[in-house]
Amino acid sequence: MFHTQKTYFVSVFFCNGPRAYTYRTHDLSIKVNDVVVVPVGESNDLKPAVVVGVFASPPTDYPVNKLKWVVGRGSPSPTVAFWTQRTHLFRPDEFICSICGYITTKKRLPECPHCSARMKKTKYDPSWVEEAEFLDSL
């Protein structure tokens, strides 16, 4: 007897990407906000992406047989990732992931809680200077 697996469709966003892309998968354990590895472009380079939706029915605007397959869960950690430390006068410092833009107030996290990128260093953004200039202008 021939057994077929149910196909699911996942919408994903790439880091700093303006629109969602759809892929096929047989993995029902994939949930929203998971990081998956998907093939991109003509050369099918593997890139991490964040899942923003999981659907049982295919999208209507693109042929299903043209949709690529999710390769796996989890992402290979990018080698060049860093926190950008944004300092403020009257608020706690913010640390922003260079890969996905996740913002946290926790210092020196070894990896991003959102995209699992390993952090190599911290860049300093002296945004408190602009806040001080604004207060001086008042």
Q: For the full predicted model, state whether its pTM sits above 0.85.
A: no
Provide the pLDDT for residue 6.
Answer: 78
- The full set of domain ranges for the chain reads 8-73, 82-137
Q: Judge whether residue 40 has pLDDT over 60.
A: yes
* 65 vs 128, residue with greater confidence: 65
Q: Judge whether residue 57 has pLDDT over 80.
A: yes
Provide the pLDDT for residue 17.
Answer: 67
Computed over every residue of the chain, the mean pLDDT equals: 77
Q: What is the 3-state secondary structure (H, E, C) of 43-111?
A: CCEEEEEEEEEEECCCCCCCCHHHCCECCEECCCCCCCCEEEEECCCCCCCEEEECCCCCEECCCCCCE
Provide the pLDDT for residue 89.
Answer: 77
